[in-house]
Amino acid sequence: VVTLFTYCLTVERVSTWLIRSGEPVQQRTEFPFIAFLTTERTMCTGSLVSTRAVLTAGHCVCSPLPVVR
């Protein structure tokens, strides 16, 4: 997760489309405790809970288990 967060800090273009409650976020520093996580298939947010940890939904960082029939 630390690697993902480091990547998030380098994505400048993200700040051009951040929206909260239907309104554009004016500054990236307005919510310094929020992390943006992205992979090839998903985009998720998370909350910084320490200097080394981000709390996010499980599907944002783990692939689902295959269904056995």
d(CA 34, CA 15): 12
Q: Is 65 contained in some domain? A: no
Predicted confidence at residue 24, as pLDDT, reads: 72
Q: Write out pLDDT tens, residues 5-64.
A: 444 444 444 445 566 677 776 666 666 778 888 777 778 888 888 888 888 888 777 766
Q: Is 35 contained in some domain? A: yes
Q: Is 66 contained in some domain? A: no
Residues 6 or more apart whose CB falls under 8 angstroms from that of 30 comprise none
Q: Is 68 contained in some domain? A: no
Handedness of CA 44, 45, 47, 51 (dihedral sign): positive
Domain of residue 49 covers 2-60
Q: How many domains does the chain have?
A: 1
> Does the pLDDT at position 3 exceed 50?
no
Q: Is 28 contained in some domain? A: yes
Q: Is 67 contained in some domain? A: no
Q: Is 23 contained in some domain? A: yes
Predicted confidence at residue 64, as pLDDT, reads: 67
Q: Which amino acid is at 62?
A: C
